A and B are shown apart, each in its own frame.
Chain A
Amino acid sequence: MIKKRSYFKSRTLAYVLILPQLLITAAFFYWPAVQGIVASFQISDPFGFRTQFVWFDNYIALFNDPLYLKSIGITLLFSGSVAIVSISCGLFLASMANRALRFTSLTRTLLIWPYAIAPAISGILWLFLLHPSYGVVAIGMKKWLGIDWNPLLNSSNAMLMVVLASAWKNISYNFVFFLAGLQAVPHSLIEAAAMDGASPFRRFWSITFPLLSPTMFFVTVMTIIFSFFESFGVIHAVTQGGPGGSTNILVYKVYQDGFIGLNLGSSSAQSVVLMGLIIVITVLQFKYVERKVQYTG
């Protein structure tokens, strides 16, 4: 009898092989997560000498705080905006780059570069452009266009600035995946449609876009997760949650209350809520969006 696949009789080896990965996940994800959940039911001084179990008090306090609810709204607005801007720009650039005839590799490399920049640095770069006191673009806008751009006081200016700084970086990431996705679309299909007289837009909408939907789905999930967590660096460098708390997204509030304010109970409760929120959003995406995704064999 011919074996179709080689396999190992012993199960032990399999466990040994996945053990390192399990250990890493347990040490850097499960253990801190469990600690966080435990801490969210306690109040304690920073040094951990006085710890009281308070049931759901931290959570009750959170949801009675109008500013926390506002922060949830801000986070959703921020993530939504970052996702829309970075996905549409990423897709646009990728479809352009896919058709580029000259300097293909150069343009692609240049477009990918911003992803290599740390979020905090990206924030600083945008600050040097848009800070009302020393930002080149901001001063120019005031001088020549008469626009009183002031993200220090105007909350929508501030939001626009952090969205730009976060989205800009993420455009590159999305670009890479879209480009790969576009190149996987069979040319024969597009040529056939062209022969049937479909316009470039129609070809894109009816052929490329549906075939791109797995990529689109993946990119959306990743962008939302990115904007929930990694945008921390941008917020920290650019607005510190201001003005008047208008860019205080959830992850930044966790940091402010926990790391700077040393209010560990409330901060842990916020992390748990944040974790729950991201789980819910991802599950919803898988449940409703993924249905429309067409995976090609």
Chain B
Amino acid sequence: MSKMKCFWLVMAVAMLISFAGSAFAKPIEINWWHAMRGARGEVVQHIVDGFNNSQSDYKVIPIYKGSYDEVVNAGVAAVRAHKQPDILQSFEVGTQTMMLSGTIYPVYKLMADNGYKIDWSRYLQPVLSYYMNADGNLMSMPFNSSTPVMYYNVDLFKKAGVPMLSKTEPITWDQMGEITGKLVKSGVKGGLVTAWQSWTQIENYSAIHNIPFATRANGYEGLDTKLLINNDKVVHHIAQLKNWMADKRFYYGGQKYQGPKSEFIAQNAGLYIDSISGIAKLKKAVHDFKWDVAPMPVESWMKNPQNSIIGGASLWVFKGLPKDHYAGIAAFFKYLSGDEPQIYWHKQTGYFPITLDAYDQLKTEGYYKANPYQEVGIKQLTRRAPTKISRGLRLGYFVQIRNIINEELELVWSGKKTAQEAMDSAVARGNVKLREFERIYK
């Protein structure tokens, strides 16, 4: 008997719950898989809360899925199981893979289909151009974008008698040689260190000097692209850095940012090249000296340096979701590119605001007067309209190609190869990867 009673009780409760559920229409849940850990994750949550509280039809749920690689792999597995999330954050080097996947609902189309007329010219063009297809249509929504800049130790500069650097006019690489020479002479252990060597010293170096990284407009115009990084200019640059290693005007602190950053913080190096997202890290970690930010150096022959290129990640939308989800995603993207979230995002994380409106508003409210180093990156990024060469890189198996470049550069730094040999070998090995990639999509 008691079992029977129990059964009816459960049934009654279940029915009550289901009635209650249908009485209040539930908001449609939009799942967003991202890679923003810790403090950045909290900023993401804050922005999402803002959207969720602004309307009642949709509820965005941000889910931290691990590092960029892990998020992409989670997305791949989800698509294979037909359980794709609504929004997936993927890093910039995965752009080509995502674009060719055949599972992507392009963002320009998503916004148009859902009745949003977006004036894309009001966005930071070098950010958009990284995620556009060859026809200039935006494939994914830019989210966190950064660019490399140069940090320098003000106190060590003073000690060595080096004048402070301009925040808008880049120094030349020749001047870099002189400055680092003075620093080393004044007793500093080393001159320059760099994080993310492939991104800062080859990818961005090429973009700033308008040197093609690969044929077919850096891969934008076809999969039959070939690397060009064994050109004289890049080779000269790498060889020069290697020469500077002799008296420690340049030295190597590792592939990522941790090693070089700690060299800069320990005042072993006077100059340090890293993403603008380094600002927040240095603010937290540096207490015993003053530092400032300057644009990336430029060769003296380059009179009109191009924009630098971005790093970071963008938001991708998959095909095959219910229609009302797309309406929600579009509404969220619209909200996300609004001034308030963009300004908040920029202030909290240092990543670029992606619209000119948000940038202008930051200017008018005097944010950059109070935080002048925050503007160095954005000015460097927008100093010239991107060309077909400086707009970005569109290469398959780009992660492996970066690994190859890193390996070959390390062989240069350790003296096992000359700059020319290493770059030739990077091109040959990278082209093998590009051909493997091309073959899949034939």
Q: Which residues of A contact B (CB under 8 A)?
A: 43-50, 52, 61, 65, 67, 131-134, 152-155, 240-245, 256-257, 259-263, 266
With A133-B262, A152-B252, A244-B416 as given contacts, are A43 and B410 in contact (CB-CB < 8 Å)? Answer: no
In the complex, are the beta carbons of A152 and B80 less than 8 A apart? no
Q: In the complex the two chains form, is B97's CB within 8 Å of A46's CB?
A: yes
Q: Mark B71-95, 1 if CB is under 8 A from A, else 0.
A: 0110010011000000000000000
- Nearest 9 pairs of A and B residues by beta carbon: A244-B410, A243-B410, A133-B262, A261-B400, A244-B411, A245-B407, A153-B414, A46-B76, A261-B399
Q: A45-B97, A256-B400, A261-B399 given; name 20 further pairs at CB < 8 Å.
A: A43-B439, A46-B97, A47-B76, A47-B80, A50-B102, A67-B429, A131-B259, A133-B254, A133-B266, A152-B252, A153-B414, A242-B255, A243-B413, A243-B414, A244-B407, A244-B416, A260-B69, A262-B76, A262-B97, A262-B397
Interface residues of B in 249-269 (CB under 8 A from A): 252-255, 258-259, 262-263, 266, 268
Q: A133-B259, A153-B414, A260-B69 are in contact. Are A49 and B102 (CB under 8 A)?
A: yes
Check A263 against B410 for contact (C-beta < 8 Å): no
A262 / chain B contacts, CB cutoff of 8 Å = 72-73, 76, 97, 397, 399
Between-chain CB contacts (< 8 Å), 27 pairs: A45-B100, A45-B440, A46-B101, A47-B76, A47-B80, A48-B80, A49-B102, A49-B103, A52-B439, A61-B432, A132-B259, A133-B253, A133-B263, A133-B266, A153-B410, A155-B414, A242-B407, A242-B410, A244-B407, A244-B414, A245-B407, A256-B403, A259-B73, A260-B399, A261-B399, A262-B72, A262-B97
Q: Judge whether B125 is part of the interface by a CB distance below 8 angstroms.
A: no
User: Within the assembled complex, what's the spacing in Å between the Cα atoms of A16 and B408?
Assistant: 56
B contact residues around A44 at 8 Å (CB) = 440
Least CB distance, B252 to chain A, in whole angstroms: 6
Set of chain B residues within 8 Å of A155, measured between Cβ atoms? 414
Q: Assess the B73–A45 pair: CB atoms within 8 A.
A: no
Q: Which residues of B contact A45 (CB under 8 A)?
A: 97, 100-101, 440-441
In the complex, which of the residues A153, A259, A266 has the most CB atoms of chain B within 10 Å of its own CB atom? A153
The one of B253, B258, B403, B436 in contact with A61, judged by C-beta atoms closer than 8 angstroms, is: B436
- Enumerate chain A residues within 8 angstroms of B429, measured Cβ to Cβ: 67
A67 — which chain B residues lie within 8 A by C-beta? 429
B133 within 8 A of A: no
Q: Which residues of A contact B408 (CB under 8 A)?
A: 244
A262 to B68, CA, bound (A): 13
User: Closest residue to B80 on the A side, CB-wise?
Assistant: A48
Contact B259 A152 (CB under 8 A): yes
Q: Contacts of A266 on B, CB cut-off 8 Å?
A: 436
Q: Chain A binding site: helix, strand, loop or mixed by DSSP?
A: loop
Minimum C-beta distance from A124 to chain B (A): 12
Interface residue B418 (Cβ < 8 Å from any Cβ of A): no
Q: Is B406 an interface residue (CB 8 A)?
A: yes
B441 touches A154 (CB 8 A): no
CA distance A241 to B256 in the complex (A): 13
Q: What number of A-B contacts does a CB cutoff of 8 Å give? A: 92
In the complex the two chains form, is A50's CB within 8 Å of B259's CB? no
| Closest CB in chain A relative to B310 CB, distance in Å | 20
**Quick one: closest B residue to A49, CB to CB?**
B102
CB-defined contacts of B259 to chain A, threshold 8 Å: 131-133, 152
Could you say which residues of chain B place their CB within 8 Å of the CB of A65?
A: 432
Across the two chains, which residue of chain A brings its CB closest to B415? A153
Query: With A and B bound together, what is the CA distance between A257 and B432 in angstroms?
Result: 14
Count chain B CB atoms within 10 A of each CB in A49, A241, A260, A266 and give the residue with the most.
Answer: A260
CB closest residue in chain B, given A50: B440
Q: Which residue of A has the minimal Cβ distance to B266? A: A133
Q: B264: shortest Cβ distance to chain A, in Å? A: 10
Indicate if the CB atoms of A153 and B252 lie closer than 8 Å: yes
Nearest to B69 among chain A residues (CB) is A260
Chain B residues lying within 8 Å of A260, measured Cβ to Cβ, are: 69, 399
Q: Which residue among A44, A131, A133, A257 has the maximum number of chain B CB atoms within 10 Å of its CB?
A: A133
Which chain A residue lies CB-closest to B256?
A: A240
Query: Among the listed B69, B400, B440, which residue makes an inter-chain contact with A52, where contact means beta carbons less than 8 Å apart?
Result: B440
Residues of B within 8 A of A263 (CB): 397, 400, 433, 436
Nearest CB in chain B: distance from A57 CB, A: 9
The distance in angstroms between the C-alpha atoms of A266 and B432, with both chains bound, is 12
Chain B, Cβ-Cβ closest to A134: B262
The minimal Cβ–Cβ distance linking B130 to chain A, given in whole angstroms, is: 19
Smallest Cβ-Cβ distance to A262: which chain B residue: B97
Q: List the B side residues contacting A256 at CB < 8 Å.
A: 400, 403
CB-based contact B100/A257 at 8 Å: no
Q: In whole Å, how far is A151's beta carbon from the nearest beta carbon of chain B?
A: 10
Contact A49 B400 (CB under 8 A): no
* Cα of A266 to Cα of B439 in the assembled complex, Å: 13
Complex Cα–Cα for A45 and B8 (A): 52
Chain B positions within 8 Å of A241 at CB level: 403
CB distance from B202 to the nearest CB of A (A): 16
Contacts of A43 in B (CB 8 A): 436, 439-440
Residues of chain B lying within 8 A (CB to CB) of residue A52: 439-440
* Contact, CB under 8 Å: A47 / B440: no
| Cα-based distance from A257 to B439 in the complex (angstroms) | 17
Which A residue sits closest to B263, measured CB to CB? A133
Q: Do B410 and A47 have beta carbons less than 8 Å apart?
A: no
> B258 — which chain A residues lie within 8 A by C-beta?
133
Nearest CB in chain A: distance from B417 CB, A? 9
Expressed in whole angstroms, the minimum distance between the Cβ of A62 and any Cβ of chain B is: 11
In Å, the complex CA distance between A242 and B414 comes to 12
| Given A52-B440, A256-B400, A47-B255 contact (CB < 8 Å) | no
Q: Interface readout for B18-62 with A: 1 if CB under 8 Å, 0 if not?
A: 000000000000000000000000000000000000000000000
A261 in contact with B397 (CB, 8 Å): yes
A244 CB to closest chain B CB (Å) equals 4
**Are B253 and A152 neighbours in the complex by a CB distance under 8 Å?**
yes
- A263 CA to B433 CA in the complex, in Å? 9
